């Protein structure tokens, strides 16, 4: 047990906005309301206290990321090495940090939970192995389902009830936490060299199924199955000038359901082509603000070299054609695809400058910070360890103006960032980095500091330098264990992993078994991951499915995460 005394606490979920208070860590690694008078004390006078960071959309493990690691030896050559000590394993940081390094670096910045946002079910076992090797962080994972041919065939036949059982079975088989949709229908079409640009176009190879149908159906299934996280959606037409129309249409199609819009920055462009590309952040933010049951993450871009990794195979092929850089394409049997292209965002490139601005514009124009999370779609927009740079840009309008002056004049005329004067407060930073994404993921024990919460706590020294302060916390506690002290790793506990087990009709296995025999290279019996192979994964059972569409719960206004926190306003 430990009393953290006298810090200035930012705990937005419990209405605490910089008040000085104590935080008490109980022996079970959770926050408690009080401790005995003789409990050990750590004096935090003058320090700032946040709940541990939660990354709602990142790529930190699995076949695609590993493929990307192998494709960029030139970037790894410049990467910061981590040497083995008593508390840590060796590794590399760089663009795609190795597994152990990923845990150390996230924790070193105060992030304690991460959602691996794109896992093909077929390679879920590999992903779990890598996530198990990623210390300190608690993890969740979303499985790719919007191009699964068994599911699409059922939608084609109008067998929706059956399709929902199939979806629930795949989530169970992968030991996943949520459902991801990437370029619905487009990745299935890419297997034949095609794409789905329009939401109401028929998916190549089908007679009736459209991306709109896939999106609306999967969003409804996630609601009906009571998954803690809504459909995690990467819209069609990612990255393309003029894709604002597709994104707005997607919001209309998804209306009435909870949906999480991934890396919204990549879906908010106006113009007709690369020569006229402009920001459409204002149109997207206006529509998004009017749909309180939608959430999003920014997918912000920072200038520099990185590697892009996505299941959106057709987009990656186009990016390869545009850049002439290396290109890797992976096909995942009946389920999805994947593309990898190293990329450099350049300040002097007008499309890149527009992208840089759009991510910040969305963060500044979406009026409810509870519904937009800070991400870079790591490693796509920038590596996660550059988050403090974005926090600096959000908190300091003068610094933004300084950076804007470096952009080409033509780019400045196509963005609205110069007009935006909003500056994020520390409370809002705590929301977009922790409280909001925890709520988006439905992780009730994360993102707050009320009694019952996991004692994932980050302590910053107050500093005039925002990036310095957020890059180098003074202390980080994970589940009550001091893991970082003054920049040094003190302990490296294993993280937890959370998965859901939505109920499905057991008869669905009789339907799937022969299809596996016919179409998969892996036998049906060997496909699902046995929970005994993953002792660190905590399986959560959502309530029984409902058959009617429920009124989605708005993401705001803020409410306490747990009944104990609600009945304990003493926290502030
Ligand atoms: Zn992503």
pLDDT(147) > 60: yes
In sequence order, the 6+-apart residues with CB closer than 8 A to the CB of 158 are none
Of 447, 319, 309, 320, nearest to 373 (Cα)?
447
* pLDDT, tens digit, 9 for 90 and up, residues 421-444: 999 999 999 999 999 999 999 999
567 CA to middle of ligand 1, Å? Answer: 38
Cα 499 to averaged position of ligand 1 atoms, centre (Å): 19
- Centre of ligand 1 from the C-alpha of residue 157, in Å: 30
pLDDT tens digits, one per residue of 251-293 = 999 999 999 999 999 999 999 999 999 999 999 999 999 999 9
Alpha carbon of 563 to ligand 1 centroid (Å): 33
Beta strands in 316-468, from DSSP E residues, in sequence order: 328-332, 336-345, 372-373, 457-461
**Alpha carbon of 192 to ligand 1 centroid (Å):** 23
Predicted confidence at residue 572, as pLDDT, reads 52
Structure tokens at 242: 């003029």
Host H or E run for residue 166: helix 160-174
Q: How far is the CA of 260 from the centre of ligand 1 (A)?
A: 12
CA of 58 to the centre of ligand 1 (A): 6
Q: Summarize pLDDT for 445-503 with one digit per residue, the tens.
A: 999 999 999 999 999 999 999 999 999 999 999 999 999 999 999 999 999 999 999 99
pLDDT at 266: 98
Residue owning tokens 């609205």: 416
CA of 59 to the centre of ligand 1 (A): 6
Query: How many Å apart are CA 90 and CA 464, to the nearest integer?
Result: 33
- What is the token pair recorded at 210? 């459209």
Question: pLDDT tens digits, residue range 296-335?
Answer: 999 999 999 999 999 999 999 999 999 999 999 989 899 9
Spacing, Cα 451 to ligand 1 middle (Å): 33
Averaged pLDDT, 131-152:
97
Distance 158 CA to ligand 1 centre (A): 30
Residue with tokens 């082509």: 273
- pLDDT over 60 (residue 245): yes
**Cα of 478 from ligand 1 centre, angstroms:** 25
What pLDDT is attached to residue 535?
A: 83
Query: How many angstroms does the Cα of residue 485 sit away from the middle of ligand 1?
Result: 31
pLDDT value, residue 453: 98
**Tokens of residue 330, six digits:** 């992976």
How many Å lie between the centroid of ligand 1 and the Cα of residue 117? 6
Greatest Cα-to-Cα distance within the chain, rounded to the nearest angstrom: 72
DSSP β-bridge partners for residue 308: 341
Q: CB–CB of 479/455 below 8 Å?
A: yes
- Mean pLDDT across the stretch 211-235? 98
- Token pair belonging to 522: 């892996």
225 falls in which pLDDT band (50, 70, 90)? very high
For residues 23 and 25, give the distance between their C-alpha atoms in angstroms, rounded to a whole number.
7
Question: What is the Å distance from ligand 1's center to 122 Cα?
Answer: 18
pTM of the model: 0.95
For helices 211-224 and 244-254, the axis angle rounded to 10 degrees is: 40
How many residues comprise the chain? 572
For 32, residues 6+ apart whose C-beta sits below 8 A from its C-beta are 1, 24, 25, 26, 451
Instruction: Please tell me the distance between residue 179's alpha carbon and the centre of ligand 1 in angstroms.
Output: 13
CA of 233 from ligand 1 middle (Å) equals 10
Q: How far is the CA of 30 from the centre of ligand 1 (A)?
A: 31
pLDDT score for 565: 37
Say what the pLDDT of residue 553 is: 46
Which residue's entry shows tokens 């076949």?
63
What is the spatial distance between Cα 358 and Cα 115, in angstroms, rounded to a whole number? 23
Classify residue 551 by its DSSP letter: P
107 or 522: which leads in pLDDT: 107
C-alpha of residue 205 to centroid of ligand 1, in Å: 26
When pLDDT is cut at 50, 70 and 90, the band that residue 547 belongs to is: low
Q: 551-570, pLDDT tens digit by residue?
A: 444 444 333 333 333 333 33
CA–centroid distance, 447 to ligand 1, in Å, is 21
pLDDT for 544 equals 72
Interval between CA 118 and ligand 1 midpoint (Å) = 7
Would you say 236 and 211 are in contact if contact means Cβ atoms under 8 Å apart? Answer: yes
pLDDT at position 240 is 97
pLDDT above 90 for 411: yes
User: Which pair of structure tokens corresponds to residue 86?
Assistant: 């008593």
How many angstroms is it from 156 CA to the middle of ligand 1? 27
Span from the CA of 482 to the centroid of ligand 1 (angstroms): 30
**Secondary structure letter of residue 30 according to DSSP:** B
> Which residues of 394-445 form beta strands (DSSP E)?
none
Q: How far apart are the CA of 312 and the centre of ligand 1, in A?
A: 10
Q: Is the pLDDT of residue 189 over 90?
A: yes
Tell me how crowded residue 534 is: count the other CB atoms within 10 A of its CB: 19
108 pLDDT higher than 50: yes
Q: Is the dihedral of CA 234, 309, 433, 414 positive or negative?
A: negative
Task: Give me the pLDDT at residue 543, please.
Answer: 72
Determine the distance separating the centroid of ligand 1 and the alpha carbon of 569, expressed in angstroms.
Answer: 37
Rounded to whole angstroms, the Cα distance separating 167 from 336 reads: 14
308: CA distance to ligand 1 center in Å? 9
Distance between Cα 116 and ligand 1 center (Å): 8
Q: How many angstroms separate the alpha carbon of residue 26 from the centre of ligand 1?
A: 36
Q: Residue 493, Cβ neighbours under 10 Å: how many?
A: 15
Q: What is the C-alpha separation between 424 and 43, in angstroms, rounded?
A: 28
pLDDT higher than threshold 80 for residue 229 = yes
Q: Which pLDDT score, from 0 to 100, does residue 404 have? A: 98
């Amino acid at each position: 047990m430990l009393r953290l005394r006298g810090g200035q606490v930012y705990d937005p979920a419990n209405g605490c906005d910089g008040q000085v208070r104590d935080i008490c860590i109980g022996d079970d690694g959770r926050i408690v309301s009080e401790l005995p008078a003789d409990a050990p004390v750590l004096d935090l006078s003058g320090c700032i206290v946040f709940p541990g960071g939660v990354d709602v959309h990142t790529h930190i493990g699995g076949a695609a990321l590993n493929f990307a690691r192998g494709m960029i030896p030139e970037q790894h050559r410049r990467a910061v090495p981590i040497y083995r000590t008593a508390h840590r394993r060796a590794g590399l940081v760089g663009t795609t940090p190795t597994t152990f390094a990923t845990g150390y670096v996230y924790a070193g910045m105060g992030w304690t939970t991460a959602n691996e946002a794109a896992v093909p079910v077929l390679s879920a076992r590999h992903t779990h192995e890598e996530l198990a090797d990623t210390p300190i962080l608690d993890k969740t994972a979303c499985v790719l389902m919007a191009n699964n041919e068994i599911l699409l065939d059922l939608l084609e036949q109008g067998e929706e009830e059956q399709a929902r059982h199939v979806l629930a079975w795949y989530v169970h088989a992968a030991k996943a936490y949520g459902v991801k949709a990437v370029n619905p229908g487009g990745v299935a079409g890419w297997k034949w060299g095609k794409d789905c640009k329009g939401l109401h176009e028929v998916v190549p190879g089908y007679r009736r199924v459209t991306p709109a149908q896939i999106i609306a159906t999967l969003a409804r299934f996630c609601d009906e199955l009571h998954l803690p996280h809504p459909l995690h959606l990467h819209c069609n037409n990612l990255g393309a000038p003029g894709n604002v129309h597709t994104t707005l249409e997607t919001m209309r199609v998804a209306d009435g359901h909870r949906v999480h819009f991934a890396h919204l920055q990549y879906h908010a462009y106006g113009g007709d082509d690369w020569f006229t590309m402009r920001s459409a952040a204002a149109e997207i933010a206006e529509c998004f603000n009017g749909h309180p049951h939608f959430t999003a993450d920014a997918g912000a871009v920072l200038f520099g070299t990185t590697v892009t990794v996505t299941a959106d195979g057709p987009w990656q092929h186009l990016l390869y054609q545009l850049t002439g850089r290396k290109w890797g394409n992976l096909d995942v049997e009946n389920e999805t695809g994947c593309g990898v292209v190293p990329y450099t965002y350049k300040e002097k490139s007008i499309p890149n400058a527009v992208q840089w601005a759009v991510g910040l514009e969305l963060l500044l124009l979406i009026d409810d910070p509870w519904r937009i999370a800070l991400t870079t779609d790591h490693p796509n927009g920038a590596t996660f360890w550059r988050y403090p740079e974005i926090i600096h840009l959000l908190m300091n309008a003068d610094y933004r103006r300084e950076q804007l002056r470096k952009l080409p004049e033509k780019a400045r005329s196509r963005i609205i960032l110069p007009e935006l004067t909003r500056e994020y407060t520390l409370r809002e930073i705590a929301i977009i980095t922790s409280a909001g994404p925890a709520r988006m993921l439905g992780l009730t024990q994360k993102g707050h500091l009320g009694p019952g919460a996991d004692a994932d706590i980050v302590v910053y020294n107050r500093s005039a330098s925002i990036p310095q302060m957020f890059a180098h916390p003074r202390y980080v506690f994970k589940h009550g264990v001091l893991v970082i002290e003054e920049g040094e790793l003190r302990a490296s506990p294993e993280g937890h992993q959370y998965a859901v087990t939505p109920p499905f009709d057991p008869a669905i296995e009789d339907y799937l078994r022969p299809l596996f025999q016919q179409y998969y290279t892996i036998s049906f019996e060997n496909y699902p991951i046995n929970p005994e192979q993953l002792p660190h994964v905590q399986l959560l059972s959502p309530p029984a499915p409902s058959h009617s569409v429920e009124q989605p719960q708005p993401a705001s206004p803020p409410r306490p995460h747990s009944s104990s926190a609600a009945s304990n306003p003493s926290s502030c």
